[in-house]
Structure 1
Amino acid sequence: MNIDPYKVNHRDMPLIPLRGITVFPYMVVHFDVGREKSINALEKAMIDDSLVFLCSQKDAKIDEPNIEDFYHIGTVSKIKQMLKLPGGSIRVLVEGLNRGQISSIKEEESYFSAEIEELTYDWEELQIDKKTEAAMRLVVEDFEEYITLSNRVSPDLLFTVSEIEDPGRLADVIASYIYLKPEDDQKILEAFDFYERLELLHSLLQEEIEILKIEEKINQRVKKQITKVQKEYYLKEQIKAIQNELGEEDEIVEEVEEYKKKIEETKMPKEVKEKALKEVERLYKLSPNSAEVGVIRTYLDWIVELPWNVETKDKVNIKKARDILNNDHYGLDDVKERILEFIAIRKLKSNMKGPILCLVGPPGVGKTSIAKSIAKSLNRNFVRMSLGGVRDEAEIRGHRRTYVGAMPGRIISLIKKSGSNNPVFLFDEIDKLSSDFRGDPASALLEVLDPEQNNTFTDHFLEVPFDLSKVMFITTANTTSTIPEPLLDRMEVIRIPGYTEEEKLNIAMKYLLPKQLKEHGLKEENLSISEHAMRDIINNYTREAGVRNLERNIANICRKAAKKIVEDDVSNVRVTLGNLENYLGIPKYRHDIAGEKHEIGVATGLAWTAFGGEILSIEVNCMKGTGKLQLTGQLGDVMKESAMAGISYIRANSGKLGVDENFYKEMDIHIHVPEGAIPKDGPSAGITMATAVISALTNKPISKNVAMTGEITLRGRVLPIGGLKEKVLAAHRAGIEKIIVPWENKKDLEEIPDKVKRKIEFVLVKEMEEVLLHALIEVEDKNENN
């Protein structure tokens, strides 16, 4: 150890280990002494010369330290004052004199005593070099910056410190005023060389200054936040005071707290929750008389009442679902199978996106009731929105809150009404949508009916996304022709054809009659309708593909039966074919039947209508004239074009067909389709009209037992048509025995009931020549009558 310029004095004196404190030379400090050995050492020092050696413990937690538990370099100090405190401890005031190092320790029983090498020097005799002087200046500058950043040291102290010329004393005084770790204090105490001591202090001061700067940044930021909070608190208190004077404070505070409670209880997405809480804060700050308050209240009511996280659990029991569908509906096997497929997939994959089904079929076939049965079989809630005549986009997406009386769209409204985020949602009559200057609702539905997009459906009123991906959307339509292509592309179309007579009979006897009996307060024993009477109702009192009018007629019979039971005091009414007219009057409709004889120029065609299939009698007369073609019977453009195509085919093949090649110049042709009050259109009567014309031109009769359907081309090819099932059923009802069908419609024959197939012969044709082969009767057979 280099002790130059120190002088060494050997002294024996009491020793006190200090906990958590370091005493430097020239430092005046007070501390409390409570340990017995330390108190005895103080008393011994006071008896002798008031000198005591103070050193720091390595670990402040040790209560009874031994020689190894404290540092051996410390400070020789003079006791200036002692004060006994309650509890036996002593508060002592000491002044640090010089550094000292323990040479040896005599551990007395009552206190520590040590031989100390006390180090002293005369600073006036020191030669201070430039390096040391530079270090002194740096330390003073550091101390000045430290004082500026810290509020622990009085600024007046800087003047006192700057007057010190002794480098050792300068370092010790500054070290005694700054907050350092005990280990760093000990390092300074053990630095005997003045320059090393100043350099070490400079390094420690720089670290402390850096920490103080960071503290200041944090403090300023926190202070700014606190100031903002205090400002807001002050303003809120002012608002509360005003509201309190008006008697409104309690009501608003209670309302705001209630909204906050509901928002916390509703498990909504984070984005929605933040938006809702922001609106609550706006409500709190606004004056109760502001018009905006009502808008915010309405908005918050909608937000907290929507089923953000409420989901009904699907029943994935296929057998039970099949039973429900079969009990609710007769037939419709394709639709039922598609629903059962969906349920099966739900069992395998619970997070499957809801499908978009489009049920297409004529009125009254049960499209809406199928959707209800689907909801029932899945254990889901059911909601229905009718789109017929909807022409305002806001009906779908809602109004923005800037409008007076703004409300969410019907979709969000019905989701709220359903009480769950995964209902079966029915869009009824989607083909009846229209648009005007208020927007295009069909375009607004594009997002709703797209499983890839509807998980972020945003209503204009809510302005936050709502997940519709779990909803099972079902749409209904009478035809797909009026549905926009982009919208139709998003849906899986399931076609529901009209019911056959047998299906209608089963539906009437198993479903409609029991339902109407119950609604009219009748029991099964009160009213019975025979099967023959029910068939007559189906054929002669209704003309429809569905069963809506059939149900009305059954209800009509129930009312009359109820009246008879009450008025005539009878217990049973039986409706038969013989007395049916007494209840429903004379038949309203007649169904065409096959001709009674083979005729020239009269062909039987098949037509599809919204009410099912019908047979169509097409008549042709050929007269001498100038080649005019006349078409009557309310025919549409497509049907007229089919007739012209047929005439062109006949002209091109006149030789092959046995027709006078100048017929188009010398004969007038009149094509008429009876029941002229009913508009008729479509290409499927092409081969029928061509056959009738050829029959009239060649004087060959057409078989009374043959009906036909198909589109004709100029080359005589027969093209496929639609609605074959309904057309075949109409032919069967009329007693037709043979039907000529385009070859490409072969696949559609699978839809025809087996009972009908067994009674009708189907002839599949590709060319017009094949049609004539089966339709025309040779001249020698023309007198045959059946």
Structure 2
Amino acid sequence: MVDTINRRQIPLLPLRGLLVFPSMVLHLDVGRAKSVQALEQVMEEDHQILLATQKEISIDEPSADDIYSVGTLAKVKSLLKLPNGTVRIHVEGLQRAKIEQYFDNDDCIKVEATILEEVDAELTSELQAIMRNLLSMFEQYTKASKKISAETLTAVKDITEPGQFADVIAANLPLKLAQKQSLLEIASVEKRLMTLIEILNNEKEILGLEKKIGQRVKKSMEKTQKEYYLREQMKAIQKELGDKEGRTGEVSTLREKIEEANMPEAIKEKALKELDRYEKMPANSAESSVLRNYLDWLLQLPWTNETEDQLDVIRAEEILNEDHYGLEKVKERVLEYLAVQQLTRELKGPILCLAGPPGVGKTSLARSIARSLNRNFVRISLGGVRDEAEIRGHRRTYVGAMPGRVIQGMKKAGSINPVFLLDEIDKMANDFRGDPSAALLEVLDPEQNNTFSDHYIEEPYDLSKVMFVTTANNISTIPGPLLDRMEIISIAGYTEVEKIQIAKNHLLPKQMKDHGLTKGMLQVKEEAIQKVVRYYTREAGVRSLERQLASLCRKTAKKIVSNEKKRVILTPKIVEEMLGKPRFRYGLAEVEDQIGAATGLAYTSAGGDTLSIEVSVAPGKGKLTLTGKLGDVMKESAQAAFSYIRSRSEELKIDPSFNEKNDIHIHVPEGATPKDGPSAGITMATALVSALTGRPVKKEVGMTGEITLRGRVLPIGGLKEKSMSAHRAGLTTIIIPKDNEKDLEDIPESVRNDLQYILVSHLDEVLEQALGEKE
């Protein structure tokens, strides 16, 4: 309980951010008008005033609610008016007082206050023990904090009165205003002393933590300063040695490049982590150069650089037509892709496979696709690749490790959406080092290649925006799962008309430029080009044609340089003089109708070709001989044809015992060239029947188709290529299986118009069309 002595009315001096305990002596500067008026009034009376603290510092004119109800009765010892209008006073705290009523007059604020008497202030042995404990703690705090002077500590030691002892300690502790106010409001001296012990305990713990934190910060600062000092020393040494930048400058440059490289966040984090390792690693260590190469690869790879597609279908069509003559299907597919991109702008890059014989322009077509899309172009050759690491890269643990060819190609491209040509995809092999075609499955899968994993880079790389174009001569050697991921576009070869146009518009101007010839030096007639095409080349593509034109240009250059002629006009006659006698015969495969010889059509990796099959019948014991380096499939076709003829000997007007009296020899010329395939069945059967019956095979007829033991004609593949070869050979009629009628649409119109196609479903129809009458 609080004992009251008396209640009195007294002027009030509100304090901002300050609290005065009893026994405290201090100077105050007062500036508010009402406060100055109150001070002048007390100086005229008993020099006593009540000091109470404001709850909020910002309030200029406080009300009763804005001031704490317990304050300190103080004596104003002196008052000095300063030139700026403020008043400086010297006050001494006397006793606690509680505000009972509040009077805000015009001149000053007055309150009715009750003077509070100290409770439990008698100096008992228990209280003395508490005071000693508090003094010990205060002494420890003073030494630890170093915020309280030694003089203050000495003055506290000299105090014997418990209430004053508590108030002096409370006044010197760096407490918040609210904490000090709560101490001021405690009338019980014992309780006040115990509260101070709790506060000093808390402060002791806080000081301990501050000390730990301070030591930690100091240690960190010392380490940083040490590192800075050593770096500066290193720079100075490097400068003296002539190495201006050294490792520090290199790391700084690399860090800047990483920040500017627009990498995905995960890749950037990885790069910075590896850079930190590189910085701390000795320059002469083996791993240092490995890390440096790795960082270079991360920086040089395009992570977000993207070229903008020129989505102009008309412009793209003009570029494709300008670079290539014919090849309508491929051009149409590229233009379709462009059109869809123009509508969606989000289509994943297609995987195109340009399949066809050598020299038809597969590689140069891919380059034109890139030009029409306004994309960067990059090409890698897969011919002979037999190591999986060529595709996926080597792990960095190996000496001389490098990324795979795909990542190398992306670095060369410099953008994430190039046209990427994988050349000769059918020429890959596999051995104990792995299967590279299996590693390509992820690269060429639009659903997976957005997170392509290279063993060297170790981080996922996005290939989904790349337009992959592959080339192959023979798709039958490409593994099934890999072939399934690609869109096959077949390029069979060029017709004679197309070859002449390509030679005139593309090959000849290029060769003339390469050989330094102008139009005034060399003029080539179209008949001369036609002669080169017909009599000096026999190919699906135009590579050999380009070599012959290069030969003509060389010989022309020699004539002009030796002043033999100033201008050369190439005619068919001059072509023969320069290139020699014709190497090929243009026209029918056979000059006249032959007995026992039929012309078949074959499909090879170099395009279509004609195949002459000869049969010889001689007296003997029924021996069947097959020559010409035939594969198992062709041997089986010959056996099937032989068995069918035996079963139908009577209908075919052949002696039923011919197989017992005669030896039969089937030969396919060009014995050094391996031959195999399922489409020579009807050709062998026709040649056999012709030899056994004496009926000649028509010279203008070529044929292709497989045969069964019952004489059915089965469909074949490569009809377009075979038709082109028949057209080149000068045949006018082709016998094909009826089931291949759907493939006639793929054959160029100029070839289709020059050939007569006979659709058959049984061997009897073949014999009726192919064999003439017996002489």
Which bin holds the TM-score, normalised by the shorter protein?
Answer: 0.7 to 0.9
Report deviation, 1:505: 1.3
CA distance in 1 between counterparts of 2:202 and 2:660 reads 113
Query: Structure 1 residues 188, 225: CA separation in 2 closer, same or farther (over 3 Å shift)?
Result: closer
271-280 or 32-41, which deviates more? 32-41
Corresponding residue SS for 2:599 = strand
Query: Which AA in structure 1 matches 2:771?
Result: L
1:234 matches 2:226: yes
Aligned to 2:97: 99
Corresponding residue SS for 1:16 = strand
5+ residue gaps, structure 2: none
Report deviation, 1:373: 0.4
1:581 matches 2:576: yes
Corresponding residue SS for 1:20 = coil
CA distance in 2 between counterparts of 1:277 and 1:523 reads 58
CA distance in 2 between counterparts of 1:28 and 1:603 reads 133
Report deviation, 1:646: 1.3
1:16 matches 2:8: no
Partners of 2:6 and 2:115 within 8 A in 1: yes
Aligned to 2:491: 496
Query: Structure 1 residues 675, 112: CA separation in 2 closer, same or farther (over 3 Å shift)?
Result: closer
CA displacement 1:751-778 (0-9 Å, x = unmatched):
223333333321212222222232234x
CA distance in 2 between counterparts of 1:193 and 1:123 reads 6
Partners of 2:72 and 2:96 within 8 A in 1: yes
Query: Structure 1 residues 514, 579: CA separation in 2 closer, same or farther (over 3 Å shift)?
Result: same
Query: Which AA in structure 2 matches 1:471?
Result: V
83-92 or 653-662, which deviates more? 83-92
Report deviation, 1:554: 0.8
CA distance in 2 between counterparts of 1:216 and 1:324 reads 80
Aligned to 1:362: 357
1:120 matches 2:112: no
Q: Where do residues 206-605 of structure 1 align in structure 2 (5 Å cutoff)?
A: 224=216, 227-228=219-220, 230-235=222-227, 237-238=229-230, 240-242=232-234, 244-245=236-237, 247=240, 251-252=245-246, 253-568=248-563, 570-591=565-586, 593-605=588-600
CA displacement 1:563-605 (0-9 Å, x = unmatched):
2233346443222222221111112233572445444322222
Q: Where do residues 585-664 of structure 1 align in structure 2 (5 Å cutoff)?
A: 585-591=580-586, 593-664=588-659
CA distance in 1 between counterparts of 2:207 and 2:273 reads 33
Q: Where do residues 691-730 of structure 1 align in structure 2 (5 Å cutoff)?
A: 691-730=686-725
Query: Structure 1 residues 759, 477: CA separation in 2 closer, same or farther (over 3 Å shift)?
Result: closer
Partners of 2:73 and 2:96 within 8 A in 1: yes
CA displacement 1:226-280 (0-9 Å, x = unmatched):
7456435534533543563464785233222222222222211222222222333
Partners of 2:116 and 2:187 within 8 A in 1: no
1:75 matches 2:72: yes
Partners of 1:654 and 1:660 within 8 A in 2: yes
Query: Which AA in structure 1 matches 2:93?
Result: E
Query: Structure 1 residues 250, 733: CA separation in 2 closer, same or farther (over 3 Å shift)?
Result: closer
Partners of 1:23 and 1:96 within 8 A in 2: no
Query: Which AA in structure 2 matches 1:53?
Result: L
Corresponding residue SS for 2:758 = strand
CA distance in 2 between counterparts of 1:320 and 1:348 reads 17
Query: Structure 1 residues 439, 737: CA separation in 2 closer, same or farther (over 3 Å shift)?
Result: closer
Query: Structure 1 residues 581, 52: CA separation in 2 closer, same or farther (over 3 Å shift)?
Result: same
CA distance in 2 between counterparts of 1:588 and 1:215 reads 105
CA distance in 1 between counterparts of 2:401 and 2:266 reads 22
CA distance in 1 between counterparts of 2:727 and 2:320 reads 29
Query: Structure 1 residues 400, 158: CA separation in 2 closer, same or farther (over 3 Å shift)?
Result: farther
Superposition TM-score, scaled by structure 2 size? 0.86
Corresponding residue SS for 2:7 = strand
CA distance in 1 between counterparts of 2:298 and 2:89 reads 67
Query: Structure 1 residues 223, 276: CA separation in 2 closer, same or farther (over 3 Å shift)?
Result: farther
Please give the root-mean-square deviation of Cα atoms over the aligned residues, in Å.
Answer: 4.2
Corresponding residue SS for 2:223 = helix
Partners of 2:653 and 2:693 within 8 A in 1: yes
CA displacement 1:59-96 (0-9 Å, x = unmatched):
31133446665345423234578788896553645325
579-588 or 17-26, which deviates more? 17-26
CA displacement 1:528-583 (0-9 Å, x = unmatched):
22222222211221122110110111111112222223334644322222222111
CA displacement 1:303-334 (0-9 Å, x = unmatched):
33333222111100000000000010000001
Query: Which AA in structure 2 matches 1:368?
Result: T
Report deviation, 1:497: 0.8
5+ residue gaps, structure 1: 128-132
Report deviation, 1:152: 9.4
Query: Structure 1 residues 82, 720: CA separation in 2 closer, same or farther (over 3 Å shift)?
Result: farther
Corresponding residue SS for 1:756 = helix
1:670 matches 2:665: yes
1:773 matches 2:768: yes
Partners of 1:659 and 1:698 within 8 A in 2: yes
Partners of 2:17 and 2:57 within 8 A in 1: yes
Partners of 2:637 and 2:706 within 8 A in 1: yes
Partners of 1:603 and 1:689 within 8 A in 2: yes
Q: Where do residues 188-199 of structure 1 align in structure 2 (5 Å cutoff)?
A: none
CA distance in 2 between counterparts of 1:513 and 1:418 reads 31
CA displacement 1:142-179 (0-9 Å, x = unmatched):
x99x979x959989999999999999999978876777
Query: Structure 1 residues 703, 317: CA separation in 2 closer, same or farther (over 3 Å shift)?
Result: same
Q: Percent identity?
A: 52
Query: Which AA in structure 1 matches 2:447?
Result: E
CA distance in 1 between counterparts of 2:90 and 2:538 reads 117
Corresponding residue SS for 1:13 = strand
461-470 or 719-728, which deviates more? 461-470
Corresponding residue SS for 2:255 = helix
Query: Structure 1 residues 167, 722: CA separation in 2 closer, same or farther (over 3 Å shift)?
Result: farther
Corresponding residue SS for 1:383 = strand
658-667 or 49-58, which deviates more? 658-667
Report deviation, 1:362: 0.7
Partners of 1:626 and 1:666 within 8 A in 2: yes
Query: Which AA in structure 2 matches 1:622?
Result: V
Aligned to 2:57: 60
Corresponding residue SS for 1:762 = strand
Q: Where do residues 735-754 of structure 1 align in structure 2 (5 Å cutoff)?
A: 735-754=730-749
Partners of 2:679 and 2:705 within 8 A in 1: yes
Pairs aligned (count):
765
Partners of 2:360 and 2:541 within 8 A in 1: yes
Superposition TM-score, scaled by structure 1 size? 0.85
Corresponding residue SS for 1:427 = strand
Query: Structure 1 residues 122, 670: CA separation in 2 closer, same or farther (over 3 Å shift)?
Result: closer
386-395 or 321-330, which deviates more? 386-395
Query: Which AA in structure 2 matches 1:119?
Result: L
Corresponding residue SS for 1:123 = coil
CA distance in 2 between counterparts of 1:118 and 1:715 reads 133
CA displacement 1:187-226 (0-9 Å, x = unmatched):
6766779999999x79x979x9999989988996797577
Report deviation, 1:431: 1.7
CA distance in 2 between counterparts of 1:276 and 1:91 reads 68
Report deviation, 1:742: 0.8
